[in-house]
């Protein structure tokens, strides 16, 4: 059920406005792991309830949806967030899409082409694990994007996200903010643990070596694409337990604001109850 | 991790071969709710481990996937199965698709057109909440399908499912088998509980009134489309706890048989570890 008093405490604290918080910090949230884990359990129930109402609203003809966009350096925990936060709700209501480097076929279309195909339907929570923002980040850092083309993409992306808002999709953009020291630990863990090898990509080191350039590109993105419709949030992500708590709360506040409602029945309940008694089953 | 000793005990017991089991029975499984719930908790860990390995295999270039097809009368628990069983694993690896009555646009294509668009990608577990089998069931019961057309659809569906097997998709077809008495209770519950109204559809009574015709149509489907590649299983579904346990076990046995493996790294681990130390981050 929607909790009307959820407010916007976490959103207000994490909305990006200039400097990013320290990746190891725990603003507004529980500062210790046991408390964060307990709160994530509670969050699961609230999130499930809100998600069910949004889904029901969609079945009843509503068109609203939510789109969580996850961005961050390699190992920042995009996959872990999907598993631990979206894993709290009914899979019927979740639509996951991961975006890797575009394929040859995808590159023959506008960069938003493959993005549009993965938008969540009515009543759904969509999750983008990387997104259209990669189409500014990567070519910018690797020097393949002219300043003019970059400006055009900012304009296109802001227009695209306004279109989403107009269509009833609330976009929640989250930057999972880790420190280079934490990334080093996580990359090492991927290399020394055979069952984690599949998560490692030699290209990750290339991106790591360009860390300052990526941070600069992100700073520019936050400045140019934080809009009233679709603000950016920075979630300090060196502590996985804090990251999970924070993303869950951002979703809960967003959904509570939407205040999704179970739809009014499109039938006469008493009449159906009466009919139900009459429909025997001869077998 | 794959558990090699899972075997096929549950699959053997629930594979349809003539008569269906009693909807209130609990063959091969725990006969009491507390034990079934405890076992479902264990199943969650095994299923998650297998699913992660299948996903990793897909990232490493593997093409295998699993497709769970859920069929059953209204209120038989297709949605509940998705929530309680697929909800046990990482949403990144699950692709859900619900099929309602085809839209006008969908009807302008072959009935398999919309089905093909929802097939799971490599490494994924796809879930169909209703499926191409509705395209035999409904028109048959409502008298819109000639015997010749029905035969053609059986042939087409068997060819389609063989194609899936050839492409690396293991199809697990589950009939959630409830009794008309249990359906009566569940329909009533949907009518007397306002937050469940959205799950109720006046058309459900129409289908209920044709119960014997649907059972007959299902019996025919089981006979004509239970193949070596894609057998049908009947899960007694009057007890939700048994249903969840049974579907989880069917998936676990299927995945354990596939024995998915974390891929060999496509890089030299020691060389990457050495490089990692050298990649400093000046910020």
Look at residue B111 in the predicted model and tell me its pLDDT.
98
User: Tens digits of per-residue pLDDT, B171-230?
Assistant: 999 999 999 999 999 999 999 999 999 999 999 999 999 999 999 999 999 999 999 989
Q: What are phi and psi of B11, to 5 degrees?
A: -60, -45
Look at residue B82 in the predicted model and tell me its pLDDT.
97
Write out chain B residues lying below 8 Å of A276, CB-based.
184, 187-188, 191, 205
Nearest residue of chain B to residue A282 (CA atoms): B212
Interface test with B, best of A23, A61, A77, A92 (most B CBs within 10 A): A92
User: Tens digits of per-residue pLDDT, B136-166?
Assistant: 999 999 999 999 999 999 999 999 999 999 9
pLDDT more than 90, % of chain A: 93
Average model confidence (pLDDT) across chain B: 95
Across the interface, do B96 and A91 touch by the CB < 8 Å criterion? yes
Interface test with A, best of B181, B198, B202, B277 (most A CBs within 10 A): B198
**Res. A225: pLDDT tops 50:** yes
**Res. A84: pLDDT tops 90:** yes
User: Tens digits of per-residue pLDDT, A86-141?
Assistant: 999 999 999 999 999 999 999 999 999 999 999 999 999 999 999 999 999 999 99
Partner residue opposite A198 with nearest CB, options B188, B194, B262: B262
Residue B7: pLDDT band (50, 70, 90) is confident
Contacts of A151 (CB under 8 A, 6+ apart): none
d(CA B189, CA A64): 27
Look at residue A138 in the predicted model and tell me its pLDDT.
94
Residue B1: pLDDT band (50, 70, 90) is very low
Q: Kindly state the helix (H) or strand (E) to which residue B154 belongs, with its residue range.
A: helix B147-166
Write out chain B residues lying below 8 Å of A45, CB-based.
none
d(CA A249, CA A198): 30
Distances (CA, A) of A41 to A240, B24, B139, B218, B267: 15, 33, 45, 41, 39
Residue B5: pLDDT band (50, 70, 90) is low
Sheet holding A169-177, edge to edge: A94-98, A125-129, A65-72, A169-177, A232-236
Write out chain A residues lying below 8 Å of B197, CB-based.
262-265, 269
Every domain of chain A and the residues it spans: 4-278
Residue B19 DSSP SS3: coil
Look at residue B6 in the predicted model and tell me its pLDDT.
64
Residue B247: pLDDT band (50, 70, 90) is very high
Question: What's the rounded mean pLDDT across residues A42-53?
Answer: 96
Across the interface, do A276 and B82 touch by the CB < 8 Å criterion? no
CA A277 to chain centre: 46
Minimal C-alpha gap between A147 and chain B (Å): 23
Nearest residue of chain A to residue B212 (CA atoms): A283
Across the interface, do B209 and A60 touch by the CB < 8 Å criterion? no
- Name the percent of chain A in helix, strand, coil, to the closest 5: 55, 10, 35
Look at residue A6 in the predicted model and tell me its pLDDT.
64
User: Tens digits of per-residue pLDDT, A232-272?
Assistant: 999 999 999 999 999 999 999 999 999 999 999 999 999 99
Q: Which two tokens stand for residue B89?
A: 């694993």
Q: Are B198 and A56 in contact (CB under 8 A)?
A: yes
Residue B282: pLDDT band (50, 70, 90) is low
Question: What's the rounded mean pLDDT across residues A40-58?
Answer: 96
Residue B141 DSSP SS3: helix
Residue A1: pLDDT band (50, 70, 90) is very low
Eight-state DSSP code of residue B15:
B
Contacts of A137 (CB under 8 A, 6+ apart): A71, A214, A217, A218, A221
String of b and e for B247-259 (b: at least 16 CB within 10 Å)? Answer: bbbbbbbbbbebe
CA A194 to chain centre: 29
Across the interface, do B279 and A212 touch by the CB < 8 Å criterion? no
| Whole-complex ipTM | 0.92
Write out chain A residues lying below 8 Å of B211, CB-based.
281-283
Minimal C-alpha gap between B57 and chain A (Å): 8
Strand pairing report for A94-98 and A232-236: unpaired
Q: B4-278 adopts what CATH topology?
A: Rossmann fold (3.40.50)
Minimal C-alpha gap between B27 and chain A (Å): 23
Residue B85: pLDDT band (50, 70, 90) is very high
Residue A3: pLDDT band (50, 70, 90) is very low
């Amino acid at each position: 059920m929607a909790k009307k008093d959820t407010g916007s405490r976490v959103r207000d604290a994490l909305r990006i406005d200039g400097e990013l918080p320290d990746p190891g910090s725990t603003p507004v949230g529980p500062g210790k792991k046991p408390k964060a884990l307990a709160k994530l359990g509670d969050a699961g129930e609230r999130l499930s309830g809100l998600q069910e109402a949004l889904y029901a609203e969609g079945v009843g003809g509503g068109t609203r949806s939510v789109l969580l966009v996850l961005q961050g350096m390699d190992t920042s925990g995009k996959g872990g967030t999907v598993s631990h936060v979206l894993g709290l709700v009914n899979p019927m209501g979740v639509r996951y899409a991961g975006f890797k480097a575009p394929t040859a076929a995808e590159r023959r279309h506008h960069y938003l082409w493959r993005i549009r195909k993965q938008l969540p339907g009515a009543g759904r929570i969509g999750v983008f694990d990387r997104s259209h923002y990669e189409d500014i980040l990567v070519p910018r850092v690797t020097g393949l994007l002219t300043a003019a083309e970059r400006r055009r993409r900012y304009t296109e992306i802001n227009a695209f996200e306004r279109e989403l808002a107009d269509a009833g999709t609330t976009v929640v953009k989250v930057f999972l903010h880790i420190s280079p020291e934490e990334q080093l630990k996580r990359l090492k863990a991927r290399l020394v643990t055979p069952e984690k090898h599949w998560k490692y990509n030699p290209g990750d080191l290339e991106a790591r070596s360009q860390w300052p350039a990526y941070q600069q590109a992100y700073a520019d993105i936050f400045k140019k694409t934080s809009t009233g419709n679709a603000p950016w949030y920075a979630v300090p992500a060196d502590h996985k337990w804090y990251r999970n708590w924070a993303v869950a709360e951002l979703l809960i506040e967003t959904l509570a604001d939407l205040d999704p409602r179970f739809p009014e029945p499109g039938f006469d309940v008493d009449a159906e109850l009466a009919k139900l008694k009459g429909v025997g089953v001869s077998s």
